[in-house]
Amino acid sequence: MTTDSPTTPSTLRTTLHTVVRVVLIGAAIYALWRWVDWARVWTALSSMSPAALVIAVGLASTDRVLMGFKWRQLVRAAGGSLRLRDATNIYYQTCFTDLVFPNVFASEGLRVYLGRRLGIPLALLLGSMAIERMIAAAVAIVLAAAGLLYLAAEVEPQMRQTFLEIIAATAVVAVLGLLAVWWTPLHRIAGRAVRDRISPKFFQLLKKISASLVAYRGQPATLAIKLGLAIAENLLQIVNFYVIGRGLGIRVPVLPFFAAIAVTALVRRLAMHVEGKALGEGAAVVMFALLGIQKDAAVALTFAHYALWLLASLPGAYLLFRSGVKLRDLEGATEGGAQG
């Protein structure tokens, strides 16, 4: 007599997650097929200004170096060693991975693995990445809030209450994230809650990560520099979107377009963390259409932005091939660090 093995909660979650993703992607494909005039999209893409193309690729390449530089500053401030060349190489590889693979966390796993190969301690590595993400998210939220306030005042006054509620909700999330990263009592509470459920080695790793995060509170100059670089990076990405839009013939006043892109950038980031790259780009199309850009032009703008950023990230494909990274290496990156 045989009995079926019980379905575990993790299996149910994985199945549900897969079903939701398939449904969302299917709905997006249907919407694109049903409501988008692809002949007009292709006409817009094929008529893009060569000067705009060159400028957009140059801005995207500059973004890679800037991202590597600001991460290097955090690693060095915590006592680690990381050359700008190595940081930039890693970011080229992770950006390419992020654009090609649907799971947004694949690029972070790759960064952990490559950082470990350079000898950066795992706790310091994860701490620097968490601080980097926190500051980047804070800047994106502030810029999106400014964009929403401008749009509410100048473009969509009837949406003012809704926009204010969105800003308040994102501000609460930002404060909770700040507490999770820097509030020591919360670290102790979390430690007591998980200590008996994890291995001693992994618990020691969490303690080191906590110490690494808290240590940044004593370096306001480093954090100020990082904040300035994060603002520059976000503005650079907004300018990149604007250059691509102008190259495609989209004529929108500068301030409304910048405000719309700031909001769209945050929506894309949140959507990508929920369901990956496809949902993020789909959210961008919807946001552009809602903010007054004709739907075919919105699709062309989003597709051109993705394609040009992928083009600028192609050196990462070569570096990734040369590094010889395998999927099993990424799976064991954190495990090896916890054991070390």
Residue type, 69: F
Taking the whole predicted model, whether its pTM rises above 0.85 is answered as no
Structural domain that includes position 187: 44-339
Residues 329, 114: Cα–Cα separation, whole Å: 10
Query: What mean pLDDT comes out for the span 272-276?
Result: 57
Q: Would you say residue 16 lies in a domain?
A: no
Residue 27 belongs to some domain of the structure? no
Confirm whether 36 is domain-assigned: no
Q: Report pLDDT for 279.
A: 61
Count Cβ atoms below 10 Å from residue 129 Cβ, excluding itself.
17
Tally of structural domains, the chain: 1
Q: List the Cα angle 169/172/178 in 5-degree steps.
A: 145
- pLDDT tens per residue across span 68-90: 999 999 999 888 899 999 999 99
Secondary structure of the chain in HEC code, one letter for each residue: CCCCCCCCHHHHHHHHHHHHHHHHHHHHHHHHHHHCCHHHHHHHHHCCCHHHHHHHHHHHHHHHHHHHHHHHHHHHHCCCCCCHHHHHHHHHHHHHHHHHCCCCHHHHHHHHHHHHHCCCCHHHHHHHHHHHHHHHHHHHHHHHHHHHHHHHHHCCHHHHHHHHHHHHHHHHHHHHHHHHHHCHHHHHHHHHHHHHHCCHHHHHHHHHHHHHHHHHHHCHHHHHHHHHHHHHHHHHHHHHHHHHHHHCCCCCCHHHHHHHHHHHHHHHHHHHHHHCHHHHHHHHHHHHHHCCCCHHHHHHHHHHHHHHHHHHCHHHHHHHHHHCCCHHHHHCHHHHHHHC
Q: Do the Cβ atoms of 41 and 296 come closer than 8 Å? A: yes
How far is the C-alpha of 244 from the C-alpha of 55, rounded, in Å? 9
What pLDDT band is residue 2 in, cutting at 50, 70 and 90?
Answer: very low
In whole angstroms, what separates CA 198 from the centre of its chain? 29
Task: Tell me if 34 is assigned to some domain.
Answer: no
Angstrom distance (rounded) from CA 112 to CA 97: 13
Residue 26 lies in a domain: no
User: Residue 58 domain-assigned?
Assistant: yes
Q: Does some domain include residue 103?
A: yes
Domain contains 283: yes
At residue 73, what is the residue type? Q
pLDDT tens digits, 163-208? 677 777 777 877 887 777 778 888 888 888 888 888 888 888 888 8
The average pLDDT across 322-338 equals: 60
